[in-house]
Amino acid sequence: MVTPTAADSPRPPASASTATRPPDPGGPWALPRIVVAAPASGHGKTTVATGLLGALRRRGLTVSPHKVGPDYIDPGYHGLAAGRPGRNLDPWLVGEERVAALLRHGATVPTPADVAVVEGVMGLHDGAVGRRGYASTAHVAALVDAPVVLVLDTTAQGRSAAALVLGMRAFDPAVRIGGVILNRVGSPRHESLLRAALAEVGVPVLGAVSRAVEVTAPSRHLGLVPVAERAPESVAIVAALADLVVATVDLDAVLALARTAGPLTAPAWDPVAAVGGPATTTAPTVAVAAGPAFTFSYAETAELLAAAGATVAPFDPLRDPGLPAGTRAVVIGGGFPEAHADALAGNAALRAELAAFDGPVVAECAGLLYLGRSLDGTPMCGRLDLTARMTGRLTLGYRDAVAAADSPVTRAGEPVRGHEFHRTVTDPGHGDIPAWRWDGAAHGFVDGRVHASYLHTHWAGQPAAARRLVEACR
């Protein structure tokens, strides 16, 4: 049982400075919002963004958490701090025309938010390689018309920090840097020097975090350890980050900056409209893997399946002895099966049931490994005739893929954008009928009613996948 902390305690009534509620679902909405960015990875974006979410929530505000890019792990910390799902905003995966609509959807469900906090990815202007900033934090900030708070690691920097911020501000006039939060400040004298330099270039300092009080979450080979794997410790870290921001950041100044965002004019994304309404009246059960080993899932996946008429039933392959009653299809997303291989192997009853399951199965990355015969010699389900092993090489990046065959979720020849993020390889690397092709090569497996590969996709960008899976339950 998780012990409640201040971040989870009942909230007082929202202040009078909350967002103007939209007059109708499609009308303009003056939702206060900011984008938390940095000149590069490692400057402290997640620390500040998560702390801001928790600190604003403590003020009684309903806060909507978002993350630029495909990352699954940071949104888990965001969701814990905000008390509602963290959601991704990725133009590559969903199309830039849907980004503002998905922000509005996330800020509306389950209740309208008072403020939205969007954490960026990598450096402010870093996006898809060779695409001139496409899918970068700067691109998303422009799409959602939000001011940027720049988090700056000031280690070994003095007055030069102002030059760096000035260059970041001038590089793209479409991006408005509204303030800076100084991170890893060495001393009060260091802070004074930095504040004076930034005043010279007219950039407000919204906060300063000392190097001595920095709070970080533990990490492993693919980044931070997911929230679901260490819930009590995660709650404590999120509470500590909120404490840190309350003590070091001018929240009134942050909220004032957030209120300068222009009105959201895009109607909220609607999962029912996206899938064209229910595909069936029988509400088939679609089992979706969850729990510590399978934490990589976008909130919109379950929403789209439900909109298509399915009953979505989570299950934990580490603990549940079988699939949910009446399961007609299975979705197994990404995660860290390599960190839980022995426990997954120990659940022999579920492995056997999945090996024999004859309904449609969709698996991504960790799901692919789990369906194979073994992972680093540890037995897995054996549904697919492959073995997997860890390597020292990180495979990471966006992919322009084409469906190589018909399957429960694809039609041959369809273009799909996705991303890879893994340190494992399979033998063989693809099946006789591959799932995808990109860069002139085959990838993944289509085996009967199974579609499995390393490619992560966001179904808001290809909602037909959800409808087809529900239709395949027949």
Q: Which residue numbers are catalytic?
A: 365
Contact by Cβ (8 Å): 326, 296: no
Q: For 160, phi and psi rounded to 5 degrees? A: -60, -20
Pairing label, strands 415-427, 378-379: unpaired
Give residue 215's region: left, alpha or beta (phi > 0; psi -120 to 50): beta
CA distance to 161, 276, 299, 300, per residue, from 102 (Å): 34, 17, 11, 9
Contact status, residue 310 vs residue 330, Cβ threshold 8 Å: no
